[in-house]
Amino acid sequence: METIKELKDGDHFHSQFLVNNISKGVTTQGRSYLNITLQDSTGTIEGKKWDVDEDDLEIFVVGNIVNVQGEVLNYRDHLQVKIISGAPVNQDSIDVTRFVPTAPEAEKDLEGDLRKYINSLTDSDLKTIVKHLLNKYKDRYLIYPAAARNHHAFASGLLYHSVSMARLAEAVCQLYPEINHDFVIAGTLLHDLGKVIELSGPIATKYTDEGKLLGHISIMMAEIRLASEELHIHGETPLLLEHMILSHHTKPEFGSPVGPMTLEAQVLAMIDDFDAKMNIINKATEGVAPGNWTERIFAMDGRAFYVPLYEQNPNKKGE
């Protein structure tokens, strides 16, 4: 079966794709049609389904994986698909990583590092809380994205983002021994765990009702408080951990009701911002030839980024 990246002008294909987006239209002759965005792990492509019937409306639904038969056309210098037919696919046995972008590292490797960072915690109360919450949501934590769009918006993005932050935190703690290692590592592993409730999952990711009404920060603060009560852990440790979660977006306009007021909370917020922005910039520059600019990036204050000519010879970067 062809992937989207392999499709070429004039190809006739029969393959499986995820329906990423859909909208209805009507021709000047009054005939209905569907604009459909098809997706797999290699990218997306726009398609049109003409002569729409009731079966099509049940098959082509956002989030469905569909057996698509079609033809690739070049329309205004962009490839587009003329969809001839579609058939539903039983998604119970489908590997979702075939249809959504995935983390650049294997899940098993990331999970190995996750265990390493959990085991590195020497504070027994922190370690107990972290293990309890990660075990509670393990299945979702391993495969969920870290966002619906912007940074780490891919399968296992939440795990990749959290482990990347833990790696950075470990290096920062070595440079600044006054930082409490256990609190910062615990913060990196738990700070976005609420997104397993805020978001719907790795396929056609959207915000849940709880996500819209509460947000992952409030959700996670409540989860830590509940865990602390269930585990009979009281005092300063859960309080400081709650503060780190509440403040890691730094400002009310970014979703935090309070700003960081401990050293470890400030470190967590800076590491989170750094890792998120690195991912956003890397995503924007991907595929941009050296000597050219990215599109303006909304999440980076609308700035475009230049890809220097030294990218043609990466070995010269440090010279």
- Domain regions of the chain by residue span: 4-93, 100-281, 287-316
Per-chain mean pLDDT for the chain: 92
Per residue in 209-230, pLDDT (tens digit) is: 999 999 999 999 999 999 999 9
Q: 38 has which bridge partners? A: 19, 45
Rounded (5°) CA angle 175-181-184? 105
152 contacts 146 by C-beta, under 8 angstroms: yes
State yes or no: pLDDT of 316 exceeds 80: no
**Local confidence band at 147 (pLDDT 50, 70, 90 cut-offs):** confident
300 has a pLDDT exceeding 60: yes
C-beta separation of 145 from 275 below 8 A:
no
Q: Is the pLDDT higher at 97 or at 38?
A: 38
Determine how many CB atoms are found less than 10 A away from the CB of residue 259.
14
At the fourth CATH level, which superfamily is domain 4-93? Nucleic acid-binding proteins (2.40.50.140)
CA-CA-CA-CA dihedral for 273, 275, 281, 282, to nearest 10 = -170
Q: How many CB atoms lie within 10 A of CB 266?
A: 17
CA 141 centroid distance within chain = 11
Phi-psi region of 312 (alpha: psi -120 to 50; beta: other; left: phi over 0): alpha
**Residue 315 pLDDT greater than 70, yes or no:** no
Identify the weakest region by mean pLDDT among 127-141, 150-164, 233-247.
150-164
pLDDT at 268 over 80: yes
Q: Is the pLDDT assigned to residue 1 strictly greater than 80?
A: no
- 231 by Cβ neighbours in 10 Å (0-12 / 13-18 / 19+) ranks as middle
In angstroms, rounded to a whole number, what is the distance separating the alpha carbons of residues 237 and 224?
Answer: 11
Is 86:67 a contact under the CB 8 Å cutoff?
Answer: yes
Token output for 209: 């009702």
User: The dihedral of CA 224, 229, 233, 237: what is its sign?
Assistant: positive
Strand partners, 39: 18, 44
Question: Helices 124-136 and 181-190: crossing angle, nearest 10°?
Answer: 10
Residue spans of alpha helices (H) in 191-235: 195-198, 209-213, 215-230
Instruction: Please check the confidence at residue 69 and state whether its pLDDT lies above 90.
Output: yes
Number of residues assigned to the chain: 319
Which pTM was predicted?
0.82
7 contacts 17 by C-beta, under 8 angstroms: no
- Amino acid identity, position 220: M
**256-275 mean pLDDT:** 97
| pLDDT computed for residue 184 by the predictor | 98
pLDDT on residue 152 = 84
Q: Mean per-residue pLDDT for 45-59?
A: 92
**Count of beta carbons in the 10 Å neighbourhood of residue 63:** 14
Work out the number of other CB atoms within 10 angstroms of the CB of residue 209.
7
Residue 63 φ/ψ region, left for φ over 0, alpha for ψ in the -120 to 50 degree band, beta for the rest: left
Q: Does 150 have pLDDT greater than 80?
A: no
Q: Which helix (H) or strand (E) holds 186?
A: helix 181-190
Q: Where are the alpha helices (DSSP H) in 77-180?
A: 107-119, 124-136, 138-143, 157-175
Is the per-residue pLDDT at 314 higher than 70?
no
